[in-house]
Amino acid sequence: MGGLVSSPVDAATKQEMEDLIKAILKTFTIEYSKGYALNLVGKLKDDAKAAPPEEWKLLERPPWNKDYKMGWLMKEGGIRKNWKKRYFVVRPNYSIDYYETDVEFNKGEKAKKRGTISLCGYRVVEDVNAGILNKLKQMAEKMNMDISQLPKPKEYPQYTIELHHERRRCYFIQAENEEEYKQWLEQFKTCCWRAYGYTNEDPVHQGAFDGAVRNTRWELGRWGWWSWGGTEEQILTDLIGDQIDWAIMGRIYAKITGPWSVRNAVRNQVLKAIDKAISAAVKPAWTAMATAVKELRNKIEPTIKEMVDPIAKAEGEIMDKIKGAVMSLIEPLLKEHVTPHLGKILDVLKSPMTEGYDSVAHIFDEHITKWEPKGNTRDELTKSFDDLDWMPRSWRIGPLPINSVSCMKLFGHYTPSSLISIPTLLFGMVKTN
């Protein structure tokens, strides 16, 4: 780890890191393999017990395929810290593309992106300057320095948002005004929460991977809360980096002396070398792990299925018998103690349900009154309903789709999704009231 000055990482510490990386990857491999096998058996058992599809059922709402939000923002460069205006577009999968101009974006498939941001594993910092100061205080504590010895941090302008990650690139985004700032702030938070990072979307893999991350940390004696997100390689890299930071970096920081400029340069040099070493180990290890599991699954899945089918059938029969025996005891009690009181319960529920329905109707009328149609054709009118597609949020009411209700009111017909949206809205308002 040569370079700027003599490295604080001696041969013994370097070997300790290498041993720790190998040990974590070995533990993770065991936990992932074990979890994959258990999840695969569980899936096959569920498939065997699944009831045959019914002839009639409600249609599922089609997946969202429109961009969530787009608009102009200022973005700070990653290397040259200058501000450039970019046209941001939040995609249906919650990734964020940005372009030099909106004209370039409107070229469709021929458009050239300036970059893509995936916020899986990130968090949004609202007060950027306070966040930077807090991180400097934490760093000063780690390096045993007085905060007054550190240089005054850069002041970011009003309406700046930081998209922060402990080990990956952080993004600084500036909105034009308070309204844009609030809208993009909520949109970025949604992207952090909903972005999907795994390259393999198989639920068997996802369950095994999540369990392996959690169990590996427990094996390392790390019982505290730890969030993760990103691709499989990124998560494994973060897992190992976090453990090195917890177990080793304190001793390394204690060896770094001199003024802040020197300490910070050495620290950055050390972290860069560590990240390089972790990536060099993780990439081939995960590739080999994923390949081996995929090949093995194709061989063993038919055999497991043959063994699981009769077990699942027997479990289903046993559960039916237990359910029948339990209900034979419960049903008389329900008829005696519950049924006589149902009328009173419904009387109590009637008033808030009526009030909830009135509130829903009022909110809907308020929003539809503000709406201005754009375009003349049916497709253009339908598309212009996008700004009505989400109701106000709270921790009690999540996003409630009203697009189909809006179309129903204007176009004068009912659709299956409309019939679902109305009780959904009503139920949400009843819960709030």
Provide the pairing of β-strand 171-174 with 123-125. unpaired
* Paired tokens of 321: 């018998």
* Contact between residue 260 and residue 145 where contact means Cβ atoms under 8 Å apart: yes
162 closest CA partner among 132, 190, 142: 132
Nearby residues of 281 by Cβ (< 8 Å), 6 or more positions away = 21, 22, 25, 240
pLDDT at 63 over 80: yes
Look up tokens 């950055």; give the residue.
268
Paired with 172 in beta bridges are 162
* Contact between residue 39 and residue 300 where contact means Cβ atoms under 8 Å apart: no
Report the alpha-carbon distance of residue 283 to residue 232 in Å, rounded. Answer: 9
H helical segments located in 248-338: 249-255, 260-333
Kindly state whether residues 416 and 323 are assigned to the same domain: no
* Contact between residue 85 and residue 74 where contact means Cβ atoms under 8 Å apart: yes
Asked which of 80-84, 291-295, 382-386 is least confident by mean pLDDT, the reply is: 382-386
Identify the top-confidence range among 13-22, 294-303, 376-385.
13-22
Nearby residues of 111 by Cβ (< 8 Å), 6 or more positions away = 99, 104, 105
Provide the percentage of residues in the chain whose pLDDT is more than 90: 46
CA atoms within 13 A on the CB side of 50: 10
Q: At 224, which CATH number?
A: 2.30.29.30
Specify burial of residue 161 (Cβ count, 10 A radius: 0-12, 13-18, 19+).
buried
What average pLDDT does range 85-99 have in this prediction? 96
pLDDT value, residue 347: 81
Angle at 318 between CA 316 and CA 319, to 5 degrees: 65
pLDDT at 424 over 80: no
Kindly state whether residues 321 and 383 are assigned to the same domain: no
For 382, the domain range is 371-432
Mark which of 328, 344, 360 sits at the end of a domain.
344
Paired with 75 in beta bridges are 84, 173
Whole-model pTM over 0.75: no
pLDDT value, residue 122: 95
Kindly state whether residues 337 and 390 are assigned to the same domain: no
Kindly state whether residues 187 and 227 are assigned to the same domain: yes
Is residue 292 situated within a structural domain? yes
254 closest CA partner among 243, 270, 276, 237: 270
Is residue 396 situated within a structural domain? yes
Task: Write the DSSP string, 124-168.
Answer: EESSHHHHHHHHHHHHHHHTT--GGGSPPPPPPPTTEEEEE-SSS
CA atoms within 13 A on the CB side of 241: 23
Report helix, strand or coil for 85: strand
Kindly state whether residues 179 and 101 are assigned to the same domain: yes
Kindly state whether residues 338 and 401 are assigned to the same domain: no
Report helix, strand or coil for 25: helix
pLDDT at 323 over 90: no
Kindly state whether residues 273 and 385 are assigned to the same domain: no
At 100-158, the pLDDT tens digits run: 999 999 998 899 999 999 999 999 999 999 999 998 888 888 888 888 878 888 899 99
pLDDT at 416 over 50: no
Is residue 24 situated within a structural domain? yes
Kindly state whether residues 266 and 385 are assigned to the same domain: no
Is residue 361 situated within a structural domain? no
Report the alpha-carbon distance of residue 224 to residue 221 in Å, rounded. Answer: 9
Identify the top-confidence range among 188-192, 344-348, 408-412.
188-192
At 146-198, the pLDDT tens digits run: 888 788 888 999 999 999 999 899 999 999 999 999 999 999 999 999 998 99
Q: pLDDT band for position 294 (50/70/90)?
A: confident
Is residue 350 situated within a structural domain? no
Buried b (16+ CB within 10 A) or exposed e, 347-366: eeeeeebeebbebbeebbee
At 34-58, the pLDDT tens digits run: 999 999 988 888 888 777 777 777 7
pLDDT at 422 over 60: no
Angle at 213 between CA 207 and CA 218, to 5 degrees: 125
Report helix, strand or coil for 87: strand
Give the residue, 357 or 122, on which the prediction is more confident. 122
Kindly state whether residues 153 and 256 are assigned to the same domain: yes
pLDDT value, residue 229: 92
Give the residue, 362 or 427, on which the prediction is more confident. 362
pLDDT value, residue 169: 93
Amino acid identity, position 41: V
Mark which of 344, 379, 402 sits at the end of a domain.
344
Kindly state whether residues 319 and 223 are assigned to the same domain: yes
Nearby residues of 112 by Cβ (< 8 Å), 6 or more positions away = 99, 100, 104
What average pLDDT does range 207-214 have in this prediction? 95
Is residue 358 situated within a structural domain? no
DSSP class of residue 64? P
Report the alpha-carbon distance of residue 35 to residue 218 in Å, rounded. Answer: 15
At 363-395, the pLDDT tens digits run: 877 777 777 777 766 666 666 666 555 444 444
Is residue 109 situated within a structural domain? yes
Backbone φ and ψ for 373, nearest 5 degrees, come out as -65, 145
* Contact between residue 143 and residue 268 where contact means Cβ atoms under 8 Å apart: no
Q: For the chain, how many structural domains are there in total?
A: 2
pLDDT value, residue 405: 42
pLDDT value, residue 413: 37
pLDDT value, residue 285: 95
Report helix, strand or coil for 241: helix
Kindly state whether residues 298 and 410 are assigned to the same domain: no
Is residue 41 situated within a structural domain? yes
What average pLDDT does range 240-255 have in this prediction? 92
pLDDT at 428 over 50: no
Mark which of 326, 344, 362 sits at the end of a domain.
344
Kindly state whether residues 409 and 303 are assigned to the same domain: no
65 closest CA partner among 374, 398, 420, 383: 383
